[in-house]
C-alpha cells in the first residue's frame, strides 16, 4: 500500500524522486523519505512523518546531490507513523538502504535471531529487519549484495516490493517483488522504478513489469538483468505504456476526486468504445471472446472483490442472473479464502479491482486457480498483476484514478459488467431481442445523460450544505439500487468521516428504523422501476418517524417529491442503468460535504488507494 520510486542515470535523482513520490502519494501519506548516493560514497537518508511536502521542507538546506536514489511514501502497517518508522531503512553499518511495500510475516522470528547476532534496531518495522538480514548474510557469507538479497528473499515469508541501494555498489540498484507491484521504466541509459507507472510516464513509455519472485539488477553500465530468487536468468519483457501525462494533473479542478467525477462521461464512453454499437445491435468484448462459451455454460459465477469493487459485484449479480440466467455468488475477497470455499472446474471466477493489485483478491484468485476454475479479471490498470494471472478479462479504460475514493473506476466497472452480461445473455438466448436492443441504447446514452446530471452540481452542493454537520446518515435502495445505497454510504464515511450505513429499503423495519429521528438524513434511491411503489412506502415509514428524506428520483417524479425534504433528479432511464446514474449525485453529495467539513478529500485519513497487503 506504500509507494516506491527509484532512479539511476545521469540526471540528478532528487527532483525525479520527489516528483515521483508526489504522484504516488495516493498510495500512502503517513510519512515519506529518500536515500541518495552522493559521489558513490555517501548515503544521505532523509525521512519525515507526514506528507511529501513535509519531507521537501526538511530536506531544504541539505545536500541533494547524486544520480542514484530511492524514495518511499508510507501507509503504516508495522509501527506508528513517525520519523523513525519512515522508509528508507538502513543496515547497521549504514551502507545499505532499502524501501519496501508489503508485509514480512516472519519478521519477528528473524528479528529475534538477528538480535542474538548483535544487530540493533531503531524502528518497529518489519522492513528494517529485512535490510539487517541482507547485511547479515552479506557479511557472514562474503557474497555480493545481489546474492545477499536473493538469499534473504528465500528466507522471508509474506509480500514485498523492495528497492535496494548500497555504497558498496554505487552504480547499481536492486529491486524485487512478490505480491506487491513494481514496474521498471527504461530510458536512454537511465532507469526508473515505481510501484505503478504514474511517476514513470513523464520520462519513458517503455516499461518492464516484474513478476513474483523476480529480482531486477540495474547496472549503470550493463543495463537491466532479471533473475528469479532461485537464480534463473529471465529475459525482460518490455511493454509500452498507454497512460498520458495530462491524466495525472488536476486540470483546473480543486481536487482529483471532483475531476474524476466530471470525467465519467468520457471514461464511460471509453469503457464501451469499440465494444458496443447500438445501431448495429452489437456487443463484443475482445478480452473474453475466447471464453464466452465457457462462461455461458458455467454452473456458477463467483465474483470476488473488495470495497467499492464489491459493490459493483453486487450489481453484477443482478445483471448476470437476470440477463444470462447464471447463478452468481458475490464474495468479499478478504473472507473468501478463509472459508474453505467449494470451487468447481465448471465455475467462472471474476475478480474486480481498480488497481489490479488488491492483495486479498489476488490471494483468492490463487486459491480458485488451484481448484481449476476459469479466472476472469476486470481491472483498470493495464499490465497489473490481476490482468496477468487471470485467463482472460476486460480493462475498464477509466484512465488513472488518483483520488482515494473511487468514482469513475466504479461506474466503468458497472458498464463493463453490464456489457459482459449482455454478451453472454445474447449468446445463450436468455434475453429477448427487443430488450437487448433497448439496453444497448440505454448504455450508449449514458455519457450524455451523465453530462446532463452534472449540471445539477450547484443544486447538489446546496443540499450538501444542509447536511454537512450530520453525525449519522442512512442510505436505502431496492434491487440494483441497494448496492448503490451501500456505495453512497461508503463514500460519505470514507471522505467526510460521518458515520453512514446502507440498507435494503425493506430492512428498515427489522431494526434500523429505531435510529430514525428528526436529525437523521436518509438518502433513498427511488427511481422509477419495478420496486418504485414499495420504495415510496418505505419513504413514508421514515417520514412517519420524522427522518429527513433526500430522494434520488427519475426526472418528473411527483410522488416522492411530495413527501421528501429534497429530491435530486436523474434522467429518465431503464432501471438497468439507474445504478450508474444514481451513483453520480451520491458521489457529489459526499464530495461537497467533505470539502465543507475541511476534510482532505483526495487523501482521507487512514486510507490508501491500492490495498496491496492482506
Domain chopping of the chain, boundaries: 3-246, 249-444, 452-614
- Is the per-residue pLDDT at 502 higher than 70? yes
pLDDT band at 519 (very low <50, low <70, confident <90, very high): confident
What is the topology classification, in CATH, of domain 3-246? 3.60.20
E strands of 498-592, at which residues? 499-504, 521-525, 548-554, 566-570
pLDDT tens-digit map of 345-365: 999 999 999 888 888 888 889
Q: How far apart are CA 260 and CA 258, in angstroms?
A: 5
For the structural domain made of 452-614, what CATH number should be given? 3.40.50.10490
Tell me if residue 301 falls in helix, strand or coil: strand
Q: How far apart are CA 445 and CA 164, in angstroms?
A: 50
How many C-beta neighbours within 10 Å does residue 269 have?
A: 18
Residue 395's contacts (CB-CB under 8 Å, 6 or more residues apart) are 287, 379, 380, 382, 387
pLDDT band at 25 (very low <50, low <70, confident <90, very high): confident
Residue 260's contacts (CB-CB under 8 Å, 6 or more residues apart) are 401, 402, 403, 407, 408
pTM here is 0.78
Q: Is 90 a catalytic residue?
A: no
* Cis amide prior to 433 (ω within 30 degrees): no
Provide, for the chain, the percentages of residues in helix, strand and coil under a 3-state DSSP scheme, each rounded to the nearest 5.
40, 25, 35
Neighbour-count burial of 525, counting CB atoms closer than 10 A to its CB (0-12 exposed, 13-18 middle, 19+ buried): buried
How many C-beta neighbours within 10 Å does residue 607 have?
A: 18
pLDDT band at 340 (very low <50, low <70, confident <90, very high): confident
For strand 214-219 and strand 223-228, is the pairing parallel, antiparallel, or unpaired? antiparallel
Q: What percentage of the chain has pLDDT greater than the value 70?
A: 97
Query: What are the angstrom distances between the C-alpha of 277 and each of 281, 432, 436, 440?
Result: 6, 17, 12, 8
- Is the per-residue pLDDT at 607 higher than 80? no
Which segment of 199-213, 236-250, 300-314, 505-519 scores lowest on mean pLDDT? Answer: 236-250
- Is the per-residue pLDDT at 456 higher than 60? yes
Query: What are the angstrom distances between the C-alpha of 79 and each of 161, 164, 222, 518?
Result: 18, 21, 38, 43
Residue from 163, 147, 156 nearest 129 by CA: 156
pLDDT band at 24 (very low <50, low <70, confident <90, very high): confident
- Is the per-residue pLDDT at 247 higher than 70? no
Residue from 380, 322, 316, 384 nearest 348 by CA: 316
Q: How far apart are CA 432 and CA 107, in angstroms?
A: 58
pLDDT band at 595 (very low <50, low <70, confident <90, very high): very high
Residue 398 grid cell: 477509466
Residue 296 grid cell: 455461458
Q: Is 609 a catalytic residue?
A: yes
Per-residue pLDDT, 517: 80
Residue from 283, 278, 325, 281 nearest 301 by CA: 325
- Is the per-residue pLDDT at 17 higher than 90? yes
Per-residue pLDDT, 552: 95
532: left (phi over 0), alpha (psi -120 to 50) or beta: alpha
What's the gap between Cα 238 and its chain centre? Answer: 24
pLDDT band at 27 (very low <50, low <70, confident <90, very high): confident
Per-residue pLDDT, 245: 57
Active-site residue among 2, 90, 306, 599? 2
pLDDT band at 388 (very low <50, low <70, confident <90, very high): confident
- DSSP, res 321: I
Correct CATH for 249-444 of 3.30.360.10, 3.30.70.890, 3.40.50.10490, 3.40.50.720: 3.40.50.10490
pLDDT band at 265 (very low <50, low <70, confident <90, very high): very high
- Is the per-residue pLDDT at 248 higher than 70? no
Q: How far apart are CA 199 and CA 18, in angstroms?
A: 10
How many C-beta neighbours within 10 Å does residue 191 have?
A: 25
Structural contact between residues 184 and 218, judged by C-beta atoms closer than 8 angstroms: yes
The pLDDT of 313-326, averaged and rounded, is: 97
Q: What is the mean pLDDT of the chain?
A: 91
Tell me if residue 582 falls in helix, strand or coil: helix
pLDDT tens-digit map of 552-588: 999 999 888 889 999 999 999 999 999 999 999 999 9
Active-site residue among 111, 178, 548, 609? 609
Per-residue pLDDT, 312: 97
- Higher pLDDT: 546 or 287? It is 287
- Is the per-residue pLDDT at 452 higher than 60? yes
- Higher pLDDT: 297 or 611? It is 297
Residue 269 grid cell: 464512453
E strands of 15-157, at which residues? 31-38, 42-49, 68-74, 89-90, 96-104
Residue 297 grid cell: 455454460
Neighbour-count burial of 122, counting CB atoms closer than 10 A to its CB (0-12 exposed, 13-18 middle, 19+ buried): exposed
Which segment of 236-250, 535-549, 594-608 scores lowest on mean pLDDT? Answer: 236-250
State the alpha helices, DSSP H only, in 497-525: none
Which segment of 72-81, 159-168, 430-439 scores lowest on mean pLDDT? Answer: 72-81
Q: How far apart are CA 169 and CA 347, in angstroms?
A: 50
- Could you check whether 3-246 and 452-614 share the same CATH topology? no
Per-residue pLDDT, 384: 84
The pLDDT of 388-408, averaged and rounded, is: 90
- Is the per-residue pLDDT at 99 higher than 90? yes
Per-residue pLDDT, 533: 86
Q: How far apart are CA 577 and CA 475, in angstroms?
A: 19
pLDDT band at 73 (very low <50, low <70, confident <90, very high): very high
Residue 258 grid cell: 471532483
Three-state SS string across 486-502, please?
A: HHHHHHHHHHHCCEEEE
Q: How far apart are CA 426 and CA 103, in angstroms?
A: 45
Residue 340's contacts (CB-CB under 8 Å, 6 or more residues apart) are none
- DSSP, res 323: I
142: left (phi over 0), alpha (psi -120 to 50) or beta: left
Structural contact between residues 308 and 260, judged by C-beta atoms closer than 8 angstroms: no
Which segment of 2-11, 174-183, 532-541 scores lowest on mean pLDDT? Answer: 532-541
Q: How far apart are CA 55 and CA 68, in angstroms?
A: 18
- Is the per-residue pLDDT at 244 higher than 70? no
For strand 472-477 and strand 392-395, is the pairing parallel, antiparallel, or unpaired? unpaired
Bridge partners, 554 (sequence order): 570
Q: How far apart are CA 571 and CA 577, in angstroms?
A: 10
Q: What percentage of the chain has pLDDT greater than the value 90?
A: 70
- Higher pLDDT: 533 or 70? It is 70
- Is the per-residue pLDDT at 530 higher than 90? no
How many C-beta neighbours within 10 Å does residue 423 have?
A: 23
Biggest alpha carbon–alpha carbon distance for the chain: 81
pLDDT tens-digit map of 461-475: 999 999 999 999 999
Residue 379's contacts (CB-CB under 8 Å, 6 or more residues apart) are 351, 352, 353, 354, 355, 356, 386, 387, 393, 395, 396
Residue from 538, 528, 549, 276 nearest 397 by CA: 276
Query: What are the angstrom distances between the C-alpha of 402 and each of 26, 95, 257, 413?
Result: 6, 35, 8, 16
- Is the per-residue pLDDT at 147 higher than 80? yes
Sign of the torsion formed by the C-alpha atoms of 182, 185, 191 and 195: negative
Residue 115 grid cell: 538480535
Amino acid at each position: 500500500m506504500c509507494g516506491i520510486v527509484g532512479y539511476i542515470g545521469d540526471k540528478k535523482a532528487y527532483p525525479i524522486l520527489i516528483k515521483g513520490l508526489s504522484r504516488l502519494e495516493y498510495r500512502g501519506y503517513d510519512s515519506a523519505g529518500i536515500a541518495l548516493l552522493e559521489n558513490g560514497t555517501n548515503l544521505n537518508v532523509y525521512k519525515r512523518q507526514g506528507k511529501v511536502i513535509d519531507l521537501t521542507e526538511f530536506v531544504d538546506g541539505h545536500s541533494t546531490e547524486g544520480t542514484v536514489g530511492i524514495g518511499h511514501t508510507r501507509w503504516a502497517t508495522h509501527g506508528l507513523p513517525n520519523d523513525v518508522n519512515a522508509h528508507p531503512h538502513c543496515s547497521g553499518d549504514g551502507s545499505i538502504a532499502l524501501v519496501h511495500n508489503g508485509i514480512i510475516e516472519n519478521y519477528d522470528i528473524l528479528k529475534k535471531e538477528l538480535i542474538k547476532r548483535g544487530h540493533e534496531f531503531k524502528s518497529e518495522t518489519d522492513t528494517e529487519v529485512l535490510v539487517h538480514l541482507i547485511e547479515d548474510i552479506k557479511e557472514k557469507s562474503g557474497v555480493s549484495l545481489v546474492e545477499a538479497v536473493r538469499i534473504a528473499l528465500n528466507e522471508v515469508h509474506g509480500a514485498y516490493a523492495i528497492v535496494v541501494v548500497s555504497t558498496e555498489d554505487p552504480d547499481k540498484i536492486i529491486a524485487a517483488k512478490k505480491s506487491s507491484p513494481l514496474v521498471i521504466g527504461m530510458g536512454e541509459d537511465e532507469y526508473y522504478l515505481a510501484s505503478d507507472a504514474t511517476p514513470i510516464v513523464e520520462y519513458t513509455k517503455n516499461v518492464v513489469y516484474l513478476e513474483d519472485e523476480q529480482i531486477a539488477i540495474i547496472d549503470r553500465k550493463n543495463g537491466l538483468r532479471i533473475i528469479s530468487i532461485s537464480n534463473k536468468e529471465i529475459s525482460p519483457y518490455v511493454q509500452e505504456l498507454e497512460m498520458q501525462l495530462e491524466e495525472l494533473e488536476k486540470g483546473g479542478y480543486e481536487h482529483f476526486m471532483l475531476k474524476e467525477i466530471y470525467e465519467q462521461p468520457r471514461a464511460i464512453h471509453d469503457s464501451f468504445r469499440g465494444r458496443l454499437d447500438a445501431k448495429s445491435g452489437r456487443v463484443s468484448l475482445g478480452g473474453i471472446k475466447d471464453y464466452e462459451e465457457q462462461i455461458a455454460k458455467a454452473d456458477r459465477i463467483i465474483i470476488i472483490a473488495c470495497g467499492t469493487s464489491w459493490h459493483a459485484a453486487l450489481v453484477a449479480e443482478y445483471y448476470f442472473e437476470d440477463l444470462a440466467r447464471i447463478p452468481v455468488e458475490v464474495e468479499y475477497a478478504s473472507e473468501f479464502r478463509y472459508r474453505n470455499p467449494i470451487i468447481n472446474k465448471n465455475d467462472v471466477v471474476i475478480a474486480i479491482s481498480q488497481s489490479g493489485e488488491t492483495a486479498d483478491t489476488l490471494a483468492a484468485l490463487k486459491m480458485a486457480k488451484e481448484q481449476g476454475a476459469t479466472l476472469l479479471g476486470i481491472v483498470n490498470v493495464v499490465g497489473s498483476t490481476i490482468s496477468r494471472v487471470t485467463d482472460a478479462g476486460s480493462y475498464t479504460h477509466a484512465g488513472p484514478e488518483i483520488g482515494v475514493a473511487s468514482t469513475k473506476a466504479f461506474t466503468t466497472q458497472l458498464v463493463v459488467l453490464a456489457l459482459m452480461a449482455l454478451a453472454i445473455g445474447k449468446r445463450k438466448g436468455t434475453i429477448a431481442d427487443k430488450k437487448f436492443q433497448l439496453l444497448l441504447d440505454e448504455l450508449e446514452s449514458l455519457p450524455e445523460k451523465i453530462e446532463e446530471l452534472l449540471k445539477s452540481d450547484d443544486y447538489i452542493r446546496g443540499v450538501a450544505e444542509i447536511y454537512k454537520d450530520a453525525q449519522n446518515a442512512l442510505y436505502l435502495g431496492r434491487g440494483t439500487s441497494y448496492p448503490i445505497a451501500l456505495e453512497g454510504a461508503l463514500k460519505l464515511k470514507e471522505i467526510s468521516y460521518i458515520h453512514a450505513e446502507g440498507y435494503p429499503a425493506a430492512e428498515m423495519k427489522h431494526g434500523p428504523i429505531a435510529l430514525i429521528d428528526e436529525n437523521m438524513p436518509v438518502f433513498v434511491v427511488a427511481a422509477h422501476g419495478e420496486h418504485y411503489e414499495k420504495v415510496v412506502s418505505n419513504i413514508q415509514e421514515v417520514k412517519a418517524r420524522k427522518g429527513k428524506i433526500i430522494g434520488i428520483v427519475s426526472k418528473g417524479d411527483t410522488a416522492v417529491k411530495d413527501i421528501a425534504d429534497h429530491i435530486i433528479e436523474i434522467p429518465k432511464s431503464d432501471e438497468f442503468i439507474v445504478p450508474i446514474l444514481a451513483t453520480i449525485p451520491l458521489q457529489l453529495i459526499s464530495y461537497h460535504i467533505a470539502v465543507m467539513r475541511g476534510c482532505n478529500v483526495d487523501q482521507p485519513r487512514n486510507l490508501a488507494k491500492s490495498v496491496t497487503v492482506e
